[in-house]
Chains A and B, each alone.
Chain A
């Protein structure tokens, strides 16, 4: 097991270098550079050129990449062109908000998906199944920005249950921790609902198919023949096996969840990584972009690794070598 993990981590290093190199080149191929955001008749082109030179943007792409790589291995991801902050600082200060929203929404999605998928799968083609399909797809097909705004309108403006946006009540900076946490969770409610409604459909569908497929297996029929109750068959025998594909999918979803949802963060003024990343794309803030790419690639690798380990754990037929 330990050797397996070590091997995987070692194998991940060239992979990460490859990903970053490719991303770097693609990024540089996109037209424009960070000084273009200054475009304004009061700014002279000589000044832009000087800034480009100071940032090393006039050097060949390979040179720039090698410089980035060398610094990266020394633990230095550089400074944001936009905020002049160290990339590590810029990212870590946004991480808690993203992590919180991502994990809570994942837990909620799972808590809803598992029973919904299970019942839908078992009661295939019944009214319950169809309505689950209908409503989860409705949630998925509503544009996030629209759904978010409607929730704000309904639950914040007309029925003022929740704040319209933000992370924490700003008057609470001196308040004790429990009160702060309560305020954060209260602020998180609307973005959370938006995220859950949007993310429910896919996993529920997967799980439903998993259940349907498993229920068709011979061992279930055999179990039924031996007189096992439907409940026992479903919860004890089918459920575990049907959950296997979910493990893989969750592993793949990890980086996506962490990188944050730009739209949700933007609408709800949620101080997460998504806003940072998208802003960096438009401003051509290469150091932040590279930091984000590196970070999500690492998560991708970790997500896969966890998925494999979890697979081996739930499915005894799989062994890790």
Chain B
């Protein structure tokens, strides 16, 4: 017992002592802390052709470079490829590589590396989900080395979205050619040709990078970079407040608390994403477009944006993000504005009458359906509840079911017809290219992401044409038609484009305007105020 008392006392002393002496040496050092970013999650694998998670790509974007990269204006600009040409048919892409591009180990980057990278992606033994990007109409894209710094991609037929896939990070052949790419140690100690060199990775703690002194592009102003892994959003915010990290995402509800913070500023931008409610178009009621229209008119999207996003977002009416070049300004208006009275009339016209329980009914079938979404996504859960309320006011009964992600996707992705759901709430993040083939083409049902079973011959045709047309202006017209049809047909009720909020310490300078391409893009311009 006495021992215990001593022990306790000792422990307290040790703890307090630690708090005191650990702080002391840090205060003494006046060294400037490197730029410290939070990547929120442990990256899975630092190999551009294998990774799919955002934490990994944040690191990969700094360490590797692709033939092209994405500019602040969301345009594709030359990176490892100093220049490129496309033949008039749009089938041969010729890339001229930077002559002074070197791997972080000092070896030159050559056309052989490029060929190697894409061949590894195309190799079925590689556990990558990017293979289809380089297979067009069942035929693989051929990569042909012209000379050590010139490579051609030969497409079996024109394919407009192809160029967006040329941002893929290039791998060093000399380090990987005799390795199993799926399990190579390289994936944890990557060597790229990007602006920063990988230094160390402490699992679930941090990744440290340092400047690539031999970078072929503009020399980065930052000497080093620290990427911390702080999974909890609340903890990350406190770390931002304490200036332990330089940047953190901020949710709409915390905006008011931080907007006037003296040491960091909040940047807002619209991302390439939208949230929607998707109908199963094989459902007995939802197959009728008048009923979908009635539901659309019963839902107040502005209330959803204000209620769920605290106003940090805009209502959506079509499947393209306003930041995309293909976004048609002329279709901005909601074709089916909120009007519960009109909604009731439409439902009445469709033959629905209230039953004893006060629910609409047609041919003895009450209008009840289950709305599913993934558990854990608070925004979507709230959207579901609001939609439930809106539809209750027009006497439609909605049951909400929250499902764990894998189980949810299993239902939506099941290759069967019809599928086992009535309606879902989901969001899509869009690529740079407006090609919506995987979501809207009728061939993508029941196998594919057109799980709502949308089928519109006009859209099918336009989507095909959009892939074959190289001229951006022409493509813009084509996609305008696609969006017009989809907005009219309502296979989804498009709900909103959420705004992203990110807090960045004021000591970080050289930022680009806020946008989906990132404020710290290009990273070379970013520096710290001394």
Contacts of B238 in A (CB 8 A): 152-153, 156-157, 164
- Contact of A166 with B228 in the complex, beta carbons under 8 Å: yes
Contact of B42 among A30, A46, A275 (CB under 8 A): A275
Chain A count of residues within 8 A CB distance of the other chain: 75
Complex: A33 Cα to B229 Cα, angstroms? 26
Q: Which residues of chain A have C-beta atoms less than 8 A from B131's C-beta?
A: 44, 46-47, 50
Q: How far is B448's CA from A115's CA once the two chains are assembled, in angstroms?
A: 63
Task: Note all chain B residues with C-beta closer than 8 A to A90.
Answer: 203
A289 to chain B, nearest CB (A): 13
A111 touches B406 (CB 8 A): no
B132 contact from A44, A164, A270, Cβ within 8 A: A44
28 A-B pairs within 8 Å (CB atoms) are namely A31-B407, A32-B405, A32-B409, A32-B410, A39-B409, A40-B52, A41-B439, A41-B449, A45-B447, A46-B132, A47-B129, A51-B129, A54-B182, A84-B182, A86-B183, A111-B4, A112-B8, A118-B1, A152-B235, A165-B239, A166-B205, A173-B208, A267-B232, A268-B232, A269-B235, A271-B205, A276-B204, A282-B405
Q: B429 near A40 (CB under 8 angstroms)?
A: yes
Count B-side interface residues using an 8 Å CB cutoff.
Answer: 73
Residues of A within 8 A of B457 (CB): none
Q: Which residue of A39, A166, A179, A183 is within 8 Å of B413 (Cβ)? A: A39
B139 within 8 Å of A by Cβ? no
Query: For window 219-244 of chain B, which residues contact chain A by CB distance below 8 Å?
Result: 226, 228-232, 234-235, 238-239, 241-242, 244
Q: Does B5 contact A (CB under 8 A)?
A: yes
CB distance from A270 to the nearest CB of B (A): 8
Q: Which of B265-314 contact A (CB under 8 A)?
A: none
- The digit string for A143-174, where 1 denotes a CB below 8 A from any CB of B, is 00000010011001100111111111111010
Q: Which residue of chain A lies nearest to B132 when distances are taken between CB atoms in the complex?
A: A44
> A235 at the A/B interface (Cβ < 8 Å)?
yes
For residue A65, CB closer than 8 A to chain B, the reply is: no
Contact with A along B110-134 (1 / 0, CB 8 A): 0000000000000011011111110
Please encode chain A, from 8 to 37, with 1 for each CB lying within 8 Å of some chain B CB and 0 for all others: 000000000000000000000011110111
Nearest A residue (CB) for B206: A170
State the Cβ distance, A249 to closest chain B Cβ, in Å.
Answer: 18
In the bound complex, what is the Cα–Cα distance between A144 and B253 (angstroms)?
Answer: 22
Given contacts A41-B438, A164-B244, contact A186 B409 (CB under 8 A): no
The residue of chain A having its C-beta at the shortest distance from the C-beta of B414 within the complex is: A31
Q: Does B256 contact A (CB under 8 A)?
A: no
A84 to chain B, nearest CB (A): 5
Complex-state Cα separation, A90 to B52, whole angstroms: 19
Give the residue name and chain of the B residue nearest to A178 (CB).
B21
Task: Evaluate contact between B18 and A185: CB separation under 8 angstroms.
Answer: yes
Check A36 against B410 for contact (C-beta < 8 Å). Answer: yes
Within 8 A of B (CB), among A51-102: 51, 54-55, 79, 82-86, 90, 93-94, 97
B8, B21, B202, B231: residue with the most chain A Cβ atoms closer than 10 Å:
B231
Is A38 part of the binding interface, using a Cβ–Cβ cutoff of 8 Å?
Answer: yes
In this complex, what residue of B is CB-closest to A273? B204
CA of A92 to CA of B150, assembled, Å: 45
Nearest residue in A to B45 (C-beta to C-beta)?
A: A84
Stretch of B25-33, B474-482, B509-517 lying at the A interface: B25-33
The residues of B that contact A108 with a CB separation of less than 8 Å are 11
Given contacts A93-B203, A282-B405, contact A47 B42 (CB under 8 A): no
- A46 nearest CB neighbor, chain B only: B132
Instruction: Judge if A182 is at the interface, Cβ distance under 8 Å.
Output: yes
Known: A47-B128, A165-B239. A266 touches B18 (CB 8 A): no
Asked if B242 contacts A79 (CB within 8 A), the reply is no
Q: Do A55 and B127 touch (CB < 8 A)?
A: yes
Tell me whether A54 and B439 are in contact in the complex, defined as CB-CB below 8 angstroms, given that A38-B52, A269-B230, A269-B232 are known contacts. Answer: no
Judge if B342 is at the interface, Cβ distance under 8 Å: no
The answer on a CB contact under 8 Å between B127 and A54 is: yes
